[in-house]
């Protein structure tokens, strides 16, 4: 009996051990299969992702190359008809203050070489004639003023004469200038003020000049700079357009433009700077179609390309002496004539 019981226990123990071994083996095999399946799935997923990325990269187009703006290296070369070297223009989007000052002053130096004879384009022989001519130049050309003032000053040579003039007679003389009634009121009014407040003499101070009828800061600086030799910046329409086009300032108010540009240059440069900028605006850097292909400062201009860049076509856009045509003064300075400039014709001629 004992032997039989012992045999049964041994058999049961062996079966239990065998069962445990079989279960462990099954679990190990299952774990290995699961791990292998996961690895295979991971590889398949990675391969699929790589394939999709590769396909997306192939479909996505490369960004278009940015067009490089090319400008002539030296302006005067184009004006002479030779083919200049070329260089890339870098718009000063993040230009530092120091870089702006250097670029602005270099532009002024370049323009001084191109327009060494730059001068006020109104004919005058004394401060009185200059202040009257400048007032008359509003909303018209200097040429038309120059063609009109000889008759005016021949009949009314002094402030006293113009102050006592018959307004209707003055209006008739000034009719070619446009807005002749308002301009008659201004020039006769400023003449009376000169007689009554300044002894018939044009004052040489800004604060006195701006008190005269029809005289603002622009007119005052024209008179101060060209009749009295006192520095001033003339912010006319050409000046405003160009300094904004060159990104010297973003201001639009004339007084703020004057202050901003004045801070870039020493006072001694102000009057000549005004002439250089205005002359360039009238001859080359026009409002609607600038002659970029004939521009002396093209490598320094962030707006290069807004106008005609072809040298031959641009050359046809040049005005006055640069285009071989008469200037605006009937009696220009000798330096202008020596440089090839031609005097303008009198009113009614040709």
Catalogue the active-site residues.
218, 236
Burial (CB < 10 A; 0-12, 13-18, 19+), residue 151, is middle
Q: Name the phi and psi angles at 105, rounded to 5.
A: -70, -30
What is the C-alpha to C-alpha distance for residues 234 and 218, in angstroms, rounded to an integer? Answer: 5
What is the C-alpha to C-alpha distance for residues 177 and 145, in angstroms, rounded to an integer? Answer: 6
What is the C-alpha to C-alpha distance for residues 186 and 149, in angstroms, rounded to an integer? Answer: 15
Is residue 177 within 8 Å of residue 145, measured between CB atoms?
A: yes
Cα-Cα-Cα-Cα torsion 116, 261, 236, 324, nearest 10 degrees, comes to 20
Label residues 67-96 b or e (16+ Cβ within 10 Å = b).
eebebbebbebbbeeeebeeeebeeeeeee
Scan for tokens 């641009």, then name that residue. Answer: 314
- Cβ contacts of 27 within 8 Å, gap of 6 or more: none
Scan for tokens 């024209």, then name that residue. Answer: 222
Scan for tokens 């870039």, then name that residue. Answer: 264
User: Among 260, 224, 220, which Cα is nearest to 239's?
Assistant: 260
Question: Three-state DSSP class for 81?
Answer: coil
Is residue 307 within 8 Å of residue 281, measured between CB atoms?
A: no
Scan for tokens 């008759």, then name that residue. Answer: 151
What is the C-alpha to C-alpha distance for residues 212 and 205, in angstroms, rounded to an integer? Answer: 12
């Amino acid at each position: 009996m004992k032997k039989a019981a012992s045999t049964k226990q041994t058999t049961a123990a062996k079966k239990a051990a065998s069962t445990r071994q079989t279960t462990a083996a099954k679990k190990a095999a299952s774990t290995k299969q699961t791990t292998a399946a996961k690895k295979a799935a991971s590889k398949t997923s990675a391969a699929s992702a790589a394939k999709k990325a590769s396909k997306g990269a192939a479909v996505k187009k490369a960004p278009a190359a940015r067009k490089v703006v090319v400008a002539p290296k030296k302006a005067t070369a184009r004006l002479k008809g030779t083919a200049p070297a070329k260089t890339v223009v870098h718009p000063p989007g993040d230009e530092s203050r120091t870089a702006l000052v250097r670029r602005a002053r270099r532009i002024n130096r370049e323009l001084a070489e191109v327009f060494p004879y730059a001068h006020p384009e109104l004919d005058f022989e004394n401060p009185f004639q200059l202040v009257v001519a400048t007032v008359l130049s509003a909303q018209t050309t200097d040429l038309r003023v120059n063609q009109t003032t000889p008759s005016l000053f021949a009949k009314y040579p002094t402030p006293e004469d113009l102050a006592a003039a018959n307004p209707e007679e003055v209006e008739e003389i000034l009719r070619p200038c446009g807005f002749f009634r308002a301009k008659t009121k201004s020039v006769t009014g400023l003449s009376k003020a000169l007689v009554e407040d300044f002894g018939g003499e044009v004052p040489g101070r800004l604060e006195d000049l701006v008190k005269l009828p029809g005289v603002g800061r622009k007119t005052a600086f024209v008179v101060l700079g060209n009749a009295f030799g006192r520095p001033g910046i003339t912010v006319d329409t050409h000046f405003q357009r160009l300094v904004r086009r060159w990104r010297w300032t973003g201001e639009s108010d004339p007084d703020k433009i004057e202050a901003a540009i004045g801070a870039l240059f020493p006072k001694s440069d102000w009057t000549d700077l005004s002439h250089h900028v205005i002359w360039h605006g009238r001859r080359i850097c026009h409002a609607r179609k600038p002659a970029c292909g004939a521009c002396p400062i093209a490598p320094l201009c962030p707006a290069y390309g807004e106008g005609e860049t072809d040298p031959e076509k641009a050359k046809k856009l040049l005005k006055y002496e640069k285009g071989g045509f008469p200037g605006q003064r009937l009696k220009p300075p000798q330096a202008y004539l020596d440089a090839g400039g031609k005097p303008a014709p009198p009113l009614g001629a040709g």
